[in-house]
Amino acid sequence: MKRISFSILLLTVLLQGAQAAVDENFYIFLCFGQSNMEGAARPEAEDIKSPGPRFLLMPAVDDPQRGRKMGQWCEASAPLCRPNTGLTPADWFGRSMIETLPPHIRVGVIHVAIGGIRIEGFMPDRIAEYVKTAPGWMKGMLEAYGNNPYERLVTLARKAQQDGVIKGVLMHQGESNTGDPEWADKVQQVYDRLLGDLQLKPEEVPLLAGEVVQAGGEGQCIAMNRQIDELPKTLHTAQVVSSTGCTNLPDKLHFDAAGYRELGRRYGEKMLSLLGYQVRSPFTVPADARTAETTIPGNDFPKVDSERRAYFRVNAPDAHRVQVDICGKKYDMRRDEHGVWCAVTDPLQVGFHYYFLNIGGMNAVDPATETFFGCNRQAGGIEIAEGPEGDYYRPHPDVPQGQVRSLYYYAQSTREWRHAMVYTPACYEQGKHRYPVLYLQHGMGEDETGWSRQGRMQHIMDNLIAQRKAVPMIVVMESGDVKAPPRPGDHRQGFSTYGASFYQVMHHDLIPTIDRKFRTLKDRDHRAMAGLSWGGHQTFDMVLRHPELFSYMGTFSGAIFGLDVKTAYDGIFTRPDDFNRQIHYLFMSCGSEELPRFQTDKTAETLRQAGIRVDLQISEGTDHEWLTWRRGLSQFVPHLFRK
């Protein structure tokens, strides 16, 4: 009696141990069908790279090339079906699932599919006869599954149930049964048998059936979509996944890679909604989204919602892939049935962002947004609005507005016509008063319009002057000869020649032109220079080589690298008394998120140790970006021309 009780106790412990091994947060999905589930499009780089250990595959066949063993979980990446197959909807189903599901939830798929197979090939009572009559080209595929694809799917599913919980069935099949009036009944037989063999409840394990290729109404088997759409009338737990707008290969039978990605995402969104998760779709824009202030009037998009997510739309019906590239982070856009591509971003930082639309591998400017020169070319831009803290760079109706003028002038030193932007304060139009001048430079890859367009310089100046925090002054912005990227040879012998052609222009042409065309105070005590990034480098080079021209200087995220205080600029930093007498104010700033890359804090500390007076400001929470430089300008200007 005691021996029997011990046996019962041991069995109970073993059963409890087995149950404990099942991870309720491991969601498993069974995928079956014919060629479009098998995958007919060649996987691309983004499909081959694994998304990580949260998306797993239990291979249904061995794949020695990738080190995969049948029945053993591995990270999921294309191809999921068999060696030498292609991209399938299951690939981006899994990827979209883990994007939305909480981080502690994993997703696993078991994938059995055979190109051209009829639904009868998954019916246990018909498979033997089906194998006998299968065409020759299909026999090798059937043999890969032991001539019984249904049995292979069930066998692996039972094994997977030891690890996780089966949450759904994904099917893409029907092309080979087009016109078969009994197709829906046969699908239900397969589904019911599958649930019975795995002891699953239909209300807990829905079947998702995808539509076939539409090809704008010219799909080879498009008539089958009516039967697929009516499947829920027969199988009440079935859900239909639309293929409308999913792009296809020239055969009008199979999806292309972009089409599989989109269809897979739709499978994922459908399943996520059934699991009770709120899906963020680029096609659904929340009511609180507002058109971005950088959008060209008359366009609705880009928009920005209350969470600072940006929504983009572009009409490109013939494109096969479109992305939004925001400062190097790429978001895949999704195509609707009308050929309109849509995307939604992660929450973006407040401030100004350059962006491009990548269409077929080429970066283009969004036709719905204002353009800004940046990244060495015309670029799109989107402003993510700050709250009231950004009022210092916004225009206000009660503040007198200055002007930003476009000035073309001839530079004798380089024998060329050049362009500059010149800000004059609101009071410039009144009387004959003369004004001090700030020469303000942009950074690498930008141009003379940057400070007035991306930087909002004129509004910053207007507001500071109106509040009597800054004296009225003229601000001059030139191209700086750094619109194009550096070339080989621009850096040599410890001195950078990048943008150095600007120095003689500034000395011999720009300053004399400004003094001739505008009412300026022409002495060094009323002349300042500042710049962002490489413009900060130019400021150091220009001011410290020509102290007879300037008495104020500033850098915002200045590209001041490897400064040797003992030798730089003829050793001027070794004579701190002379420096501090000549330079009335030296300002340096950067964003907290760009440290230590730009080492502004270390450079400032090195200068201080050498006895140089320098004012250092750190913009909290910002990087190498226009918000950092707007803040820097607003902190720098109040110190100018007070001596």
Digit-coded pLDDT (tens) for 337-347: 788 999 999 99
| CA 308 – CA 138 distance, rounded (Å) | 52
State how beta strands 585-591 and 491-492 pair: unpaired
What is the pLDDT, as a whole number, of residue 20?
Answer: 54
Residue range 34-81, pLDDT digits in tens: 999 999 999 998 899 899 999 999 999 999 999 999 999 999 999 999
Summarize the confidence of residues 101-116 as an average pLDDT: 97
Q: Return the SS3 of 94.
A: helix
pLDDT band for 282, please (50, 70, 90 cuts): confident
Summarize the confidence of residues 591-615 as an average pLDDT: 94
What is the pLDDT, as a whole number, of residue 10?
Answer: 46
**How far out from the chain centre does Cα 48 lie?**
19
Nearest to 245 by CA among 265, 227, 274: 265
Summarize the confidence of residues 398-403 as an average pLDDT: 97
What are the residue numbers of the active site?
35, 251, 254
What is the pLDDT, as a whole number, of residue 491?
Answer: 61
Helix 183-198 and helix 149-160: axis angle, to 10°?
A: 40
Residue type, 2: K
What is the pLDDT, as a whole number, of residue 481?
Answer: 93
Which pair of tokens denotes residue 50?
A: 């694994």
Summarize the confidence of residues 388-416 as an average pLDDT: 97
In the predicted structure, residue 545 carries a pLDDT above the cut 60: yes
Q: Are 117 and 171 in contact (CB under 8 A)?
A: no
What is the pLDDT, as a whole number, of residue 487?
Answer: 81
What is the pLDDT, as a whole number, of residue 337?
Answer: 78
In the predicted structure, residue 8 carries a pLDDT above the cut 80: no
Q: Where are the beta strands (DSSP E) in 339-498?
A: 340-344, 351-359, 362-364, 371-374, 377-384, 403-411, 416-424, 437-441, 474-478, 491-492, 495-496
What is the pLDDT, as a whole number, of residue 382?
Answer: 97
Summarize the confidence of residues 135-150 as an average pLDDT: 96
- Percent of the chain at pLDDT above 90? 87
pLDDT band for 147, please (50, 70, 90 cuts): very high
Summarize the confidence of residues 148-162 as an average pLDDT: 98
What DSSP character marks residue 390? G
Summarize the confidence of residues 486-512 as an average pLDDT: 82
In the predicted structure, residue 196 carries a pLDDT above the cut 90: yes
Distances from the Cα of 58 to the Cα of 67, 90, 111, 227, 268, angstroms: 12, 13, 8, 31, 19
Summarize the confidence of residues 615-637 as an average pLDDT: 97
Write out 48-75 in H/E/C secondary structure.
HCCCCCCEEEECCCCEHHHCECCCCCEE
What DSSP character marks residue 226? H
What is the pLDDT, as a whole number, of residue 14?
Answer: 44
| CA 362 – CA 324 distance, rounded (Å) | 11
User: Alpha helix (H) ranges present in 592-625?
Assistant: 600-609
What is the pLDDT, as a whole number, of residue 234?
Answer: 96
Lowest mean pLDDT among 118-122, 290-294, 319-323, 617-621: 319-323
In the predicted structure, residue 84 carries a pLDDT above the cut 60: yes
In the predicted structure, residue 555 carries a pLDDT above the cut 70: yes
What is the pLDDT, as a whole number, of residue 321?
Answer: 85
pLDDT mean across residues, the chain: 93
Pairwise pLDDT comparison (213 vs 339), residue with the higher score: 213
What is the pLDDT, as a whole number, of residue 496?
Answer: 75
pLDDT band for 3, please (50, 70, 90 cuts): very low
Q: Are 617 and 601 in contact (CB under 8 A)?
A: no
